[in-house]
Amino acid sequence: MKRCSRCHFVHDVPDWKCPQCGHFPQQRGGITALAPEMAEGGAGFQPEAYASLASLEAGNFWFRARNSLIIWVLSRYFQGFRRFLEIGCGTGYVLSGVATAYPEASLTGSEIFSAGLTYAAKRAGRATLLQMDARDIPFIDEFDVIGAFDVLEHIEEDEQVLTEILRALRPGGGIALTVPQHPWLWSLQDDRACHVRRYRAGELREKVTRVGFQVLFETSFVSLLLPAMIVSRKLQRRSHSDEEVLPELRLPKLLNGLFEGIMNAERQLIRAGIRFPVGGSLLLVARKSEERA
């Protein structure tokens, strides 16, 4: 079910026109804009970052390995899901991976900035795309699974987002989240990515539990590569360059392939039951109660 952003009336009209107050959200390039005042960006936002990401993701070890881990965890905990929402879908790289793995699923992707949705529309053509503020999700009991992959660290009100996600999930539905972790890994990359936090140990679990979810699975990843990450971060702290940080991920082909192989081995260990206590990132899966509120 949808919820009108103006009068909060709950309805299921396909074109978003509220049958109660008549409000019809703006359309931008054929995409429904639910928070149009935020669509063009804010402090620190760089539209050109999407072009850099779109050119990097498909060949980069980190994005490829994270996608594989996400697809595995969806298959383990939510096999057969029908409706999936990705919050902060960016250029659509994860969404396109989910579309390939689950061709029968109904997919929705949301992004706060319109610039990202231009790329997502090309990559995940069959998905419904929305320009949306994650702090105000206009759905109730709608989705089987909601994913937010390296999104929450950008938002001050992360618990508000988690509460909105809970309401948008059907009873028994679930979430899959990835976030950067360990504040001691903070570097120029976090500053330039407009992060507001790297999560402390146990912090995400506490917040997810507090809003009403039951945690099913949690592990660090980018763990075997943590020593290399620490060295990289220390080098960044010594740098005073104002250059965009994505070149850190543009590795020589051989090194990129080596790192991907290491992360693939790490994923196999996770699949075998090993849970890493530390790592550059954290993956958490949780479920909403089967009982309706």
pLDDT tens sequence across 100-138: 999 999 999 999 999 999 999 999 989 999 999 999 999
Which residue matches tokens 């902060």? 88
**Exposed, middle or buried by CB within 10 Å (0-12, 13-18, 19+), for 143?**
buried
Q: What share of the chain is helix, strand, coil (3-state, %, to 5)?
A: 40, 20, 40
Confidence band, pLDDT 50/70/90 cuts, at residue 259: very high
In angstroms, rounded to a whole number, what is the distance separating the alpha carbons of residues 110 and 33? Answer: 10
Cβ–Cβ < 8 Å for 9, 18: yes
Predicted local confidence at residue 42, as pLDDT = 67
Domain residue limits, the chain: 34-287
Q: How far apart (Å, rounded) are the C-alpha atoms in residues 241 and 188?
A: 9
In tens, the pLDDT along 88-100 reads: 999 999 999 999 9
Chain Cα centroid distance, residue 251: 23
Please tell me the predicted confidence (pLDDT) of residue 125: 85
- Mean pLDDT computed over every residue of the chain: 93
Q: What confidence category does residue 243 fall into, taking pLDDT thresholds of 50, 70 and 90?
A: low
Tokens of 117: 């949705």
Q: What is the pLDDT of residue 188?
A: 87
What phi and psi, each to the nearest 5 degrees, are found at residue 261? Answer: -60, -40
- For residue 96, the tally of other CB atoms under 10 A from its CB is 23
239: tokens are 């740098």
Is residue 196 within 8 Å of residue 190, measured between CB atoms?
no
pTM of the model: 0.95
CA–CA gap between residue 293 and residue 80 (Å, rounded)? 24
Give the Cα separation of 79 and 192 in Å (integer).
36
Q: Which CATH class name applies to 34-287?
A: alpha beta
- Convert the pLDDT of each residue in 141-188 to its tens digit: 999 999 999 999 999 999 999 999 999 999 999 999 999 999 999 998
DSSP annotation of 249 reads G
Task: With residue 130 as reference, give the H or E element that holds it.
Answer: strand 128-131
Per-residue CA distances from 18 to 86, 130, 246 (Å): 24, 16, 42
Q: Are 184 and 288 in contact (CB under 8 A)?
A: no
Contact 216, 272 (CB under 8 A): no
- The burial of 215, by beta-carbon neighbours within 10 Å (0-12 exposed, 13-18 middle, 19 or more buried), is given as middle
Helix axes 61-77, 253-271, angle to 10 degrees: 20
